[in-house]
Structure 1
Amino acid sequence: MSTTETFLIALTIIYTVPYFIWRLGKTDYFAPLVVVQILTGVLLGPGVMGRWFPDYFAFVFNDAVIQSLTGLAWWAVMIFVWIAGTELNLQKVWTNRLESGITALFALGVPLLFGCLTAAGMSLFEGWIGPKAMTWQFILGIGMSCAVTALPILILLMEKMTILRKPIGQRILRYASIDDIAVWAVLALILMDWQRASKQLTFLLGFSLLGYGFRKIAVRLPEADRWYVGMIWLAACGFCADWSGLHFMVGAFLAGLILDGDWFDQQQMDALRHHVLLIIMPVFFLSTGLKTHWGVGGTAVFIAAAVLLIASIAGKLIGTWLAGKILHWPKGEAALIGWLLQTKALIMIIFANVLLDKQIITNATFAALLFMAIASTMLTVPMVTPRLKRLEATASES
């Protein structure tokens, strides 16, 4: 069978299996299609399918097919991260900087601390730290994985709960926006390589200068042209960031961050995010699943995932509780916000993918982080829905 035919068989499996699980299992309440796709990627990976059906796995996901799928996955996730950067509204964050800053400080700082303490414990055992990692890189990377909020998936979930355009939804978006900026800033810090510092400083300086010029040009273009030129800018920034040793994902985020979301029609941006998730992101989920190996044993991976999940959830809820005390939020609001900011899914998985690519974490650590991200995202809607109803009922009575 030709590589093309095998590639198309792989695509058929990638799209068919999660759809039937999602639709027939009616999982939408606790696991939207995107979460099911991530889980399916794990099931189709070497940890499950490769173990149970090794010959079939080797036939379908051979080296040529994986290489083709990987290229698609790279471009899919670059577009997704570019959208996330473009949609960040820094002006709104700055307008409400005191409230947003206090909330983000605690909602990000406490789970970061808890995650770092967990990572310090993991570092005492073999099989978790990547071969090219310094201990501080590993600890900070795991800590930030526990603290991150996935802004695009948060938007998706709040749309389903019809609170996205309400005042509380807009507040939560501001808090999550600061989280997003912090994630990529920390990633850039972790990836800083003093042996290649001149290249990385050259990239950052060049990006600042060219980005200023690009903004001046982009604002004068018709909107249809901005979309197309934005893709050119995305590819160029991704290349330059990777050349400097940072990572093409850092470049993709910066390429979007420097643009203003107001330059694009919001409905078209929402549709683009939806279609990217629908059409090509499932390929990224499979490539993620292909990295789920149990190098230190399956039991150890699930124990690590459980501890990381506890650190992440406890950190978020305690952090938002402290922010609520300082800012005098109404009763129940802190827990609601804490559970919504707990949504991780894609951004944390992308973050962990970069750490794995740079060999800062091992496949076993990646698998533990992946399961933690899936569990935290699946808990969001069931935990938020009753709290949201109580909060709305209280507001109605008032």
Structure 2
Amino acid sequence: MPTSVALTTHLLVQLAVVLGACRLAGALLGRLGQPQVVADMIAGFALGPLALGLLAPPVQQAIFPRELELAGATVAHPSAQILHVLGQLGATLFMFLVGLSFDSGGAIRHLRTATTTAVASLAAPLVVGGLLGLALAGGALGIAASDDGWFGPHIPAWQAAWFLGLAVAVSAFPVLARILEETGATRTTVGTVSLACAATDDAVAWMMLAGLMATAGAAAHLGVLAVAGGLAYVAVLIALRPLLRRYARWATEGGDALRPAAVGAALVLLTACAATTEAIGLHAVFGAFVCGMVMPRELTAHLTGRIAPLTTTLLLPLFFASAGLRIVTDTLLDPSGWLVLAAVVLVAVLSKGGVSALVARWSGLSWSQSASVGALLNARGMMELVLIDVALRAGLIGPKLYTVLALMTMVTTFAAAPVFALTRRRWPASPASAAPVAVERVQAAPAGTS
């Protein structure tokens, strides 16, 4: 067993490699119009079996060992566990930032377009993705789902359908906000509608996933307790909002500056919330997300400014690296893996991006504006990776489906920025499309996250 000194040295080497790869990828992909967070995701995947493991297996195993022989048994390597835990901390802080950035104002300002597009961009993937999940779980594609690493053992078809529908329904709200911010399109109609749709879809999808995770692989009474505990948790946080408003007034008594102790208090609440939902079987990310949603809005910019830099520059790259290590390259050597990957990508693009674009067009936007909305909502980024990580740890999906969904995430997220840039050139020059609209909170989105 490695000593604590050896593990510390190993972790520092991993940090240097991961952060260096992210900076290099950012410099290269930035020329293609990709935000840094997309480069971080690509770099994290490349450090795993998908690239470095194929090109230089001994180097990849030396830097990122997955297993250790101990007393004649194979166990998880401590360095892999440390990397995973730090990545989970990054995911928890990220979901808190996403909750902080939730904005209902955008939907109100463009009620008809935002509402219809949000409903369609969530409902269509849930239905079409659910049908694909049923087909995969039922062996309609000629694949033994539970016996071949697609879904966990004894997962019923309805849970498989529910999860796959959610997996193609989520959007990368913060990466979407980052693309809009870097292109100066945040305050346009397209920007406001896209942000409102993505925030609404993700909030609903995460609540639905919480219900699914509460019952996946658990006894009936445990599922009921998890759901009841989750509802009680949300109710308690809502009841605490008057106290949180008093906390906000105390935290900003000095004017524009935030009291130093206020950030520490927010982190205490965040970690307590995450630990609570983890203990009741709903996972820490749900607690962090809801905690961010109920925080007073006047604290959004302050807390984001303090928490986001370390989260996005240090912890999230570690999450991406940990996620990349779970890729199973055998999936791509199996013809069935390519068949499922093609089906998932096709369903994801058509049911999310395609339907979103068509409904936005029906709601009054031009074809180019509608295509921009579809391209932005079709990105999945970190939101999808957190979702499939939760499902893999819960035993809902197997390593092969994890691999397929991770690759789908990379494809759809990578395509978002160039497709948006291409369609934006064709936006009509009219006040409705190009003039800024009032957006109070989207600039408080966690810049640099996905």
Matched residue SS, 1:66: helix
Q: How does 1:130-209 map to 2 (within 5 A)?
A: 130-131=152-153, 133-193=155-215, 194-209=220-235
- Aligned: 1:35 with 2:71: no
Unaligned runs of 5+ in 1: none
Q: Specify the alignment match of 1:12 in structure 2.
A: 16
Q: Specify the alignment match of 1:215 in structure 2.
A: 241
Q: Specify the alignment match of 2:364 in structure 1.
A: 328
What amino acid does structure 2 have at the position aligned with 1:43?
A
1:79-102 per-position Cα deviation (integer Å, ceiling 9, x unaligned): 110010111023543565544321
What amino acid does structure 2 have at the position aligned with 1:143?
G
- Aligned: 1:104 with 2:118: yes
Q: Pick from 252, 258, 278: which aligns with 2:288?
A: 252
Determine the C-alpha separation between the residues in 2 that align with 1:264 and 1:317: 29
Determine the C-alpha separation between the residues in 2 that align with 1:351 and 1:269: 22
Q: Specify the alignment match of 1:122 in structure 2.
A: 136
Report the identity percentage.
21
1:224-247 per-position Cα deviation (integer Å, ceiling 9, x unaligned): 344322211211111111111111
1:90-147 per-position Cα deviation (integer Å, ceiling 9, x unaligned): 3543565544321111122223322223323322112211225322222221122112
Q: How does 1:205-354 map to 2 (within 5 A)?
A: 205-221=231-247, 222-223=251-252, 224=259, 225-265=261-301, 269=304, 272-299=307-334, 300-354=336-390
1:27-82 per-position Cα deviation (integer Å, ceiling 9, x unaligned): 44254332222222222224443455444434332412112212211111111100
Determine the C-alpha separation between the residues in 2 that align with 1:392 and 1:95: 20
Contact in 1 for aligned 2:19/2:314 (Cα 8 Å): no
Unaligned runs of 5+ in 2: 66-76, 253-258, 436-450
Larger displacement relative to structure 2 (32-41 or 322-331): 322-331
Determine the C-alpha separation between the residues in 2 that align with 1:201 and 1:117: 25
Change (3 A) 1:32 1:305: farther
Contact in 2 for aligned 1:132/1:359 (Cα 8 Å): no
Contact in 1 for aligned 2:113/2:360 (Cα 8 Å): no
Matched residue SS, 2:427: helix
Paired residues in the alignment total: 396
Specify which structure has the higher proportion of helix.
Answer: 1
TM norm structure 2: 0.81
Contact in 2 for aligned 1:119/1:142 (Cα 8 Å): yes
Contact in 2 for aligned 1:320/1:337 (Cα 8 Å): yes
Give the C-alpha shift of residue 361 in structure 1.
0.9
Contact in 2 for aligned 1:87/1:260 (Cα 8 Å): no
Give the C-alpha shift of residue 179 in structure 1.
0.8
Contact in 1 for aligned 2:133/2:157 (Cα 8 Å): no
Change (3 A) 1:205 1:189: closer
Matched residue SS, 2:426: helix
Change (3 A) 1:195 1:297: farther
Q: Specify the alignment match of 1:45 in structure 2.
A: 48
